[in-house]
C-alpha cells in the first residue's frame, strides 16, 4: 500500500524534520516495514553525504564493529583522495553516517568510489538534501536519527509496505536520483516496465542500489534532467514512459513535484496555502501538522504539479 | 542486534477487529432526541461506538459529530433512520454500508464514501475523493464540490449528484441507477456499463467502451429538476445523457466449456 507525504514552506524555513515525522506517523498503518525521509536543510557551501556501511537485517559476525570502523576510515580516505577536504564524518546510528566536506568536482565518480568500499551505500549526496531511512515506524526512525531539531525548507517522506522487494534499507524510499545532486523521489504504486527501463538505464551507466521498482523513477528523472529537460517536462514525459500505477513525489533543491498515472489509481490529497503546500496519501497526515480547518482536493489522472519554495 | 519493531497504538484481535475491548466513551451531551459530541482525540472505533450507543440505545434521532479530523471509516454500518451532521472532513470509507440515515458532511471526504449505501441521503459540501459511491445500491449521494476518479463504479442503484467535475472511468461497470454530473467528466466515462444513466452538464474527455449518447426525454428533465430542487443546487442549462450501447451484452452466448455441457 505505502504512504507518501511532502511539504514545502513558501519563503521560509520550518521544523521540517518534526513535521514530516508527524505526517508519516499518522500514516503508519499504510506501511509498517520501513520509513524514509528526504529533508532539505539550509543550503551551504559544504557537500553533505549520507551513507550506510551495513544493513540492520544483516548478520553480525565477530568483527562487525571493527569492520565498519575500518570501512568508515576507508570512505574518509577515499574522499580525501578525490580532493574533498573532509569537515567531519559522524556516526548517525550503528551503521549509518553523515559526512560533510568541501568538494567541487563531479558527483558520479565520488559516489562510485565510495560505494566501491565493501558494504557502502550512498543514500544521498548534495548541498542541502539529506536522506534518512531505516526499518520501523516514523517516530522510531526520527528518534533514532534525532530528526526533531532538523530545520529546513521542504521534505518528502515514505512509509513502506514492501510488495516488490525485500524489507531492508536498500529497498526503503526515498531514492536519491544518482548521480544528480539534491534530487530524491518517493513512490506509491507498482511499475510494470521496470526491467525494460532498468536495462536501458544501466546501459547508460547508471547503477541501482536495490531491486525495488521505485528506484527507476529517481534515475529516470535524473537522466531526463541531465538531458536538459526541466523537472516538470521530465515528469510529464514519465507519464508516457512508465507503465503501471503510481503517484510519486520528486524534490530538487528548490522544487517539489507530484505526478499521477493515467488511471489515478493511487491516492493523493493536496492542500495549498499561502505559507505552505502539503500533500499526502491521506488527509490525516496533512491535519497532523496543521491545527486549523483546511480545504483539500485530490488531483486527477495524468496530473503533474510542481511548486517552488 | 537492535531490531526496530513498529509500535502500534491499537490492538487487533484474531478476527482482524481493531481495538476489540474498546467501550463507547459516553461523552455526548444528550437533549431529548438530539445529541452531539466532540470526536477530537477519539479513534474511529470510539467515534462509531459512541454514535451507535446514541442512535440504537438512547433513542437519539439527530446527532452532530464535531472534529472528525479526516479519520477513516466514520459512521459506517448504521441501519436506522436518523439525521447525522458531521462537522468537518472524513477520510476513507466514510458512511459506508448504511441503510436509512440522512448524513450531512460540512467538509470533504476521502475515497469510497457511501460505499454500498442501501438507502438514505449523504450530502457532502466540499470535494470527494475517488470511488465515490462505489457499488451504491440506493439513496441519494450529493457532492457539491468535485469528485475523483471511478465515481459510482459498479453502481447498482440510487442517484449520485456531483456539482463539479468527476475523474476518469466514472460509472465504470455500473449496472443500475443514475449519475448527474454538472461539470466535466474525465476519460473513459461509462466504460463497460451494463445499464443506468449518466447525465453530464460539462465536457466529456472521452467515452469508455460501449457507452453511447442518448436522447434526453421529458422524464429525464423532470428527474433532474426535482433532484436539484430538493438539494437547492444550481443546474447547468443543458445536460447530455449517456447510456449503455449494449454491444457487450453477450448474455445468450455460452462459454466454450458451457457449450460442451449443452452438447
Other Cβ atoms within 10 Å of A67 Cβ, number: 15
Measured at the CA of A234, the angle between CA A275 and CA A152, to 5 degrees, comes to: 30
Out of A127, A146, A179, a domain closes at: A127
pLDDT for the residue B9? 54
- Measured CA to CA, the distance from residue A229 to residue A257 in angstroms comes to 14
Q: Is B131:A303 a contact under the CB 8 Å cutoff?
A: no
> Model's pTM, two decimal places?
0.92
State the CATH number of the domain containing residue A87: 3.30.70.3400
Q: What is the pLDDT of residues B204-222, one digit of tens each?
A: 999 999 999 999 999 999 9
Distances (CA, A) of B110 to A1, A77, A96, B46, B188: 16, 52, 38, 20, 22
For residue B71, is pLDDT > 90?
yes
- Measured CA to CA, the distance from residue B51 to residue B62 in angstroms comes to 11
- Measured CA to CA, the distance from residue B13 to residue B205 in angstroms comes to 47
pLDDT for the residue B38? 97
Q: What is the pLDDT of residues B1-43, one digit of tens each?
A: 343 433 445 677 888 788 888 999 999 999 999 999 999 999 9
Q: Are residues A50 and A19 in the same domain?
A: no
- Measured CA to CA, the distance from residue A68 to residue A77 in angstroms comes to 14
Q: Which of A309, A303, A273 is nearest to A291 (CA)?
A: A273
Distances (CA, A) of B77 to B51, B80, B124, B142: 11, 9, 18, 19
Q: What is the pLDDT of residues A137-174, one digit of tens each?
A: 999 999 999 999 999 999 999 999 988 788 999 889 99
Q: Are residues A122 and A173 in the same domain?
A: no
Element (H, E) at B31: strand B29-31
Picking from A139, A140, A263, the nearest residue to B168 by CB comes out as A263
**HSE-up of B247 (CA within 13 Å, CB side)?**
9
Out of A72, A102, A127, a domain closes at: A127
Count the helix, strand and coil residues of chain A and give each as a percent rounded to the nearest 5. 30, 30, 40
Active-site residue numbers of A?
A: 2
What would the grid cell of residue B41 be?
482525540
Q: Are residues A30 and A117 in the same domain?
A: no
CB contact under 8 A, B4 and A94: no
Q: What is the β-pairing status of strands A3-9 and B29-31?
A: unpaired
- Measured CA to CA, the distance from residue B182 to residue B239 in angstroms comes to 8
DSSP state letter for A12: S
Using a 10 angstrom Cβ sphere, with 0-12 exposed, 13-18 middle and 19 or more buried, the burial of residue A243 is middle
Using a 10 angstrom Cβ sphere, with 0-12 exposed, 13-18 middle and 19 or more buried, the burial of residue A172 is buried
Q: Are residues A134 and A104 in the same domain?
A: no
Residues 6 or more apart whose CB falls under 8 angstroms from that of B45 comprise B10, B18, B19, B22
Q: Which of A198, A207, A176 is nearest to A109 (CA)?
A: A207
What would the grid cell of residue B15 be?
478476527
State the CATH number of the domain containing residue A25: 3.60.20.10
Provide the number of CB pairs (under 8 Å) joining chain A to chain B: 90
**HSE-up of A81 (CA within 13 Å, CB side)?**
11
CB contact under 8 A, B4 and A56: yes
Range A53-60 average pLDDT: 90
> B21 to chain A, minimum CA–CA distance in Å?
20
Q: Are residues A193 and A300 in the same domain?
A: yes
How does residue A291 score in pLDDT terms, banded at 50, 70 and 90?
Answer: confident
> B4 to chain A, minimum CA–CA distance in Å?
5
Mutate to test the interface with A, among B86, B92, B129, B146 (most CBs of A within 10 A): B129
pLDDT for the residue B262? 75
pLDDT for the residue B135? 96
Contacts of B107 in chain A (CB under 8 A): 293, 295
A interface with B, Cβ–Cβ below 8 Å: 28, 32, 56, 60, 94, 134-137, 139-141, 144, 262-265, 267, 269, 282-284, 286-287, 293-298, 300-301
Out of A127, A142, A163, a domain closes at: A127
For residue B140, is pLDDT > 90?
yes
DSSP state letter for B53: I
- Measured CA to CA, the distance from residue B80 to residue B52 in angstroms comes to 10
CB contact under 8 A, A300 and B186: yes
Order of strands across the sheet that contains A129-135: A129-135, A34-40, A154-160, A3-9, A276-280, A269-272
Q: Are residues A49 and A185 in the same domain?
A: no
Q: Are residues A147 and A231 in the same domain?
A: yes
Mutate to test the interface with A, among B2, B19, B38, B70 (most CBs of A within 10 A): B70
Number of structural domains chain A divides into: 2
Q: What is the pLDDT of residues B73-86, one digit of tens each?
A: 999 999 999 999 99
Residue in chain A lying closest to B185 (CA): A300
What would the grid cell of residue B185 be?
467528466
**Mean pLDDT score across all residues of chain A:** 93
Q: Which of A180, A200, A165, A155 is nearest to A23 (CA)?
A: A155
- Measured CA to CA, the distance from residue A173 to residue A167 in angstroms comes to 11
pLDDT for the residue B12? 79
Q: Which residue has cell 551505500?
A: A121
B164 shares contact with chain A (CB less than 8 Å)? no
Range B169-186 average pLDDT: 97
Order of strands across the sheet that contains A175-176: A175-176, A184-191, A244-251, A255-260, A304-308
For residue A114, is pLDDT > 80?
yes
CB contact under 8 A, A284 and B70: yes
Contacts of B88 in chain A (CB under 8 A): 293
Q: Are residues A91 and A134 in the same domain?
A: no
Domain limits for position A208: 3-43+128-308
Q: Which of B114, B243, B99 is nearest to B175 (CA)?
A: B243
- Measured CA to CA, the distance from residue B158 to residue A216 in angstroms comes to 44
Q: Are residues A36 and A149 in the same domain?
A: yes
pLDDT for the residue A205? 87
What would the grid cell of residue A88 be?
567531519
Q: Are residues A141 and A260 in the same domain?
A: yes
CB contact under 8 A, B4 and A134: yes
Q: Are residues A107 and A204 in the same domain?
A: no
Picking from B4, B71, B146, the nearest residue to A135 by CB comes out as B4
Other Cβ atoms within 10 Å of B208 Cβ, number: 19
CB contact under 8 A, B4 and A144: yes
Q: Sign of dihedral through CA atoms B217, B223, B226, B230?
A: negative
Residue in chain B lying closest to A290 (CA): B69
Residues 6 or more apart whose CB falls under 8 angstroms from that of B48 comprise B73, B74, B75, B76, B77
CB contact under 8 A, A140 and B92: no
Q: Are residues A109 and A140 in the same domain?
A: no
Amino acid at each position: 500500500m505505502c504512504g507518501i507525504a511532502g511539504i514545502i514552506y513558501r519563503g521560509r524555513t520550518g521544523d521540517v524534520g518534526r513535521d514530516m515525522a508527524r505526517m508519516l506517523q499518522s500514516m503508519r498503518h499504510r506501511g509498517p516495514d520501513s520509513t524514509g525521509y528526504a529533508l532539505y536543510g539550509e543550503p551551504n557551501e559544504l557537500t553533505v553525504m549520507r551513507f550506510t556501511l551495513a544493513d540492520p537485517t544483516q548478520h553480525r559476525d565477530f568483527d562487525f564493529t571493527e569492520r565498519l570502523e575500518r570501512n568508515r576510515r576507508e570512505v574518509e580516505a577515499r574522499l580525501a583522495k578525490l580532493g574533498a577536504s573532509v569537515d567531519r564524518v559522524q556516526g548517525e546510528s550503528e551503521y549509518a553516517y553523515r559526512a560533510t566536506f568541501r568538494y567541487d568536482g563531479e558527483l558520479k565518480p565520488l559516489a562510485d568510489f565510495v560505494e566501491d568500499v565493501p558494504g557502502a551505500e550512498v543514500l544521498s549526496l548534495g548541498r542541502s538534501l539529506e536522506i534518512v531511512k531505516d526499518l520501523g515506524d516514523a517516530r522510531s526512525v526520527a528518534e533514532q536519527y534525532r530528526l526533531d531539531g532538523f530545520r529546513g525548507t521542504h521534505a518528502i517522506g515514505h512509509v513502506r509496505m514492501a510488495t516488490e522487494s525485500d524489507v531492508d534499507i536498500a529497498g526503503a524510499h526515498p531514492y536519491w536520483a544518482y548521480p544528480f545532486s539534491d534530487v530524491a523521489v518517493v513512490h506509491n504504486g507498482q511499475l510494470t516496465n521496470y526491467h525494460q527501463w532498468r536495462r536501458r538505464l544501466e546501459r547508460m551507466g547508471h547503477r541501482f542500489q536495490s531491486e525495488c521498482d521505485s528506484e527507476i523513477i529517481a534515475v529516470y528523472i535524473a537522466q531526463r534532467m541531465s538531458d536538459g529537460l526541466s523537472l516538470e517536462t521530465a515528469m510529464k514525459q514519465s507519464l508516457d514512459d512508465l507503465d503501471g500505477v503510481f503517484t510519486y513525489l520528486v524534490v530538487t533543491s528548490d522544487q517539489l513535484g507530484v505526478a499521477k498515472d493515467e488511471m489515478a489509481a493511487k491516492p493523493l490529497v493536496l492542500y495549498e496555502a499561502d505559507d505552505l503546500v502539503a500533500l499526502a496519501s491521506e488527509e490525516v497526515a496533512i491535519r497532523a501538522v496543521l491545527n486549523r480547518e483546511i480545504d483539500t482536493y485530490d488531483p486527477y489522472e495524468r496530473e503533474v504539479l510542481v511548486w517552488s519554495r | 542486534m537492535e531490531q526496530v519493531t513498529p509500535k502500534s497504538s491499537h490492538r487487533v484481535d484474531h478476527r482482524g477487529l481493531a481495538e476489540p475491548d474498546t467501550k463507547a466513551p459516553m461523552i455526548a451531551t444528550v437533549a431529548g432526541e438530539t445529541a452531539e459530541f466532540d470526536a477530537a482525540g477519539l479513534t474511529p472505533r470510539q467515534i462509531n461506538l459512541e454514535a451507535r450507543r446514541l442512535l440504537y440505545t438512547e433513542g437519539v434521532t439527530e446527532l452532530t459529530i464535531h472534529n472528525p479530523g479526516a479519520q477513516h471509516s466514520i459512521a459506517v454500518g448504521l441501519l436506522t433512520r436518523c439525521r447525522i451532521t458531521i462537522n468537518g472532513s472524513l477520510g476513507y470509507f466514510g458512511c459506508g454500508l448504511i441503510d436509512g440515515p440522512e448524513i450531512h458532511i460540512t467538509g470533504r471526504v476521502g475515497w469510497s464514501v457511501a460505499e454500498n449505501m442501501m438507502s438514505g441521503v449523504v450530502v457532502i459540501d466540499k470535494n470527494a475523493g475517488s470511488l465515490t459511491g462505489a457499488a451504491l445500491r440506493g439513496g441519494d449521494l450529493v457532492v457539491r464540490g468535485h469528485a475523483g476518479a471511478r465515481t459510482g463504479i459498479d453502481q447498482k442503484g440510487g442517484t449520485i449528484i456531483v456539482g463539479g467535475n468527476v475523474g476518469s472511468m466514472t460509472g465504470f461497470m455500473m449496472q443500475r441507477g443514475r449519475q448527474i454530473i454538472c461539470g466535466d467528466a474525465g476519460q473513459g466515462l461509462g466504460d463497460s456499463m451494463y445499464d443506468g444513466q449518466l447525465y453530464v452538464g460539462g465536457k466529456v474527455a472521452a467515452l469508455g467502451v460501449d457507452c453511447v449518447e442518448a436522447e434526453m426525454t421529458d422524464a429525464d428533465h423532470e428527474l433532474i429538476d426535482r433532484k436539484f430542487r430538493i438539494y437547492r443546487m444550481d443546474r447547468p442549462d443543458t445536460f447530455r445523457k449517456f447510456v449503455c450501447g449494449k454491444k457487450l451484452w453477450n448474455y445468450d452466448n455460452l462459454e466454450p466449456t458451457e457449450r460442451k455441457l449443452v452438447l
